[in-house]
Structure 1
Amino acid sequence: MTHERRIEMYPLKSRVLEVAEIERVTPRMIRVHLEGPDFEGLQSDGFADHVKLWFPNEDGDHVLPVVEGDRCLNFRAEGVVFRDYTVRHLDHDARRLTIDFVAHDHGPAGRWATNAAKGDRLGVLGPRGTAHITGEFDYHVLLVDETALPAAARYVEELPEDATVRAFFEVADADEEQLVRTPKDAEITWLHRGDAEPGSTDLLLRAFEALELPEGDGFVYAAGEAGTLKPIRRLLKERGFVRNETCEVDGYWRRGTANLDHHEDDDE
């Protein structure tokens, strides 16, 4: 079967939403539900769709996105603080956008989520568009760390009930395992890195090396720390997977790099 990646673009619009509810999904994962009257036109049809969230800066100022036509004019303005986050869920009926944050104190987004309260405001820009892989697959393999877990969980939850799934999720420890709704033929393996630093292990690579692929035509989604994904890219190529047709590899972050642009081409 022939597969190809098709991009659907959405009109660019900025909006301001407010925190309606906060959940502590695990000790290190915070789920924030955002609502507000400025919801018209918000769209997300793909599991990897992301928004740019604009946070208050350290001085207490809150620079919000300014859009003119189809361009944001103030990405590089003084005092701007934004980060890319996956849309965990979008409920049009409830007019609610849900984002999962990894709780930590070494970045503005993690600090904001840790201290978020009902009524707090965020600027929201996007999603700018979505990517669709055409055609059907006999099985699905996911290899992600916790930064890409919201996208991977959404991917699994939106699959048909008869889908075949082999998923490997790297997290710190057993406390970070979370409930994910799965099809009947789904196997989720939680990989615990223990005291190792995030982005420093080869757990996902070793899991993929040991995996006996199911029969048929499959799709692989791998995402997380950019450096750990390079050997996975090579192994995907060796196993016959084709970028943007039967696999997608997304470097969500890179150790030592702040606010990585994960649209950058990370091929060797």
Structure 2
Amino acid sequence: MRTYTHDTPAAIGTELAERIAAGIRAANEAGHAYVLGCPGGRSPMPVYEALAARLAARPVDCSRLIIAMMDEYLIVTPDGALLPPPVSAHYSCRGFGEREIVGHINAGLPDAFRVRPGNFWMPDPSEPGDYDRRLAAAGGVDLFLLASGAGDGHIAFNPPGSPRDSRSRVVDLAEQTRRDNLATFPDFKSLDEVPKHGITIGIASIAELSKAAAMIVWGAGKRTAYSRISEATAYDPAWPATIVVECRDAELHADREAADG
């Protein structure tokens, strides 16, 4: 795994946005889709913001770009079923992706270049395994942006202890993961409001389906995450985000506040 330290989170965003734009252009020239694996939350926001600005300034045809989200909360219905929250919910991962990723990218592009609605992908809690098959059929994920939980190293919604061979599945969310997400989604008023279940892409899914992976770690709150990941030599189930070291073409991108703390 290659490690890069940047002056600011914005610098991380700029570097990865240029790489993504170049990858989309190359995929267009080759006549196939570019698949971008995307987490929700704060860590990747500098990338999404920089990518939207880059594409608005120098448009690239994103009509074949596939945005593949990593996870979604699930809420318990009165009859006991587990279903995604409404897209309008402040913590909806689908809502985040539609607004903060696709919405911002499309805002700066002409109609013909915009991401198509059918190219926004989410795992389906009724058929979790279909997500892995769908990504494999697309040729894999060209670049998987990754993020680590600050308190327990969760990646997507994979909790500590997740098996190395785990695939996309429905999981019970670890309490620390839920506490981390109080900061990710500040409209939660208490831990009791954070859902206890989610659907997530698996650990093996990330490692085996990604052609390249970029772990994004910034801010003082991610110093432990930086230390655990940068020192890892193999997957450590106690800190699931360490799976990045087993991904092909893996990179760790940190700002100085995280790396030098």
Assess same fold via TM > 0.5: no
More strand per residue: 1
TM-score with structure 2 length normalisation? 0.33
TM-score by length of 1: 0.32
Structure index of larger Rg = 1
More helix by share: 2
